[in-house]
Amino acid sequence: MTSAGLDVTAPPYHAVDSSGRKQESLFVIGLQLASVQWGTAIAAEAGAPLGAGSRTLLDADAIAGEILTRTVAA
């Protein structure tokens, strides 16, 4: 996804370098995704209502899942 902010892939949001290549070991999460996600200024926080931080939690889960999958495969 190209935007005014950081360039990222679709979820799990790998950073994309200036040559357009996905950076396999670099993920973007939270407020840094504000240019491709509306409402990320309200990130996950302890005690927040379920809907307030759910997007950030889902992103974190997807990133963790990919890292763990790579670790197990290696």
What distance in Å separates the CA atoms of residue 59 and residue 48, rounded to the nearest whole number? 16
Closest CA to 55 of 72, 31, 35: 31
Residue 3 lies in a domain: no
Give the tens place of pLDDT for each residue, 23-53. 999 999 987 887 777 665 555 566 666 666 6
Give the tens place of pLDDT for each residue, 57-67. 888 999 999 99
Longest Cα–Cα distance of the chain, Å, equals: 41
pLDDT score for 55: 80
pLDDT score for 17: 93
Buried b or exposed e, range 30-62, using 16+ CB within 10 angstroms = bebbeebbeebeebbeeeeeeeebebbeebbee
Residue 25 lies in a domain: yes
Give the tens place of pLDDT for each residue, 5-27. 789 999 999 999 999 999 999 99
Q: 30 is in which domain, residue-wise?
A: 14-73
Residue 4 lies in a domain: no
Number of domains in the chain: 1
Residue 5 lies in a domain: no
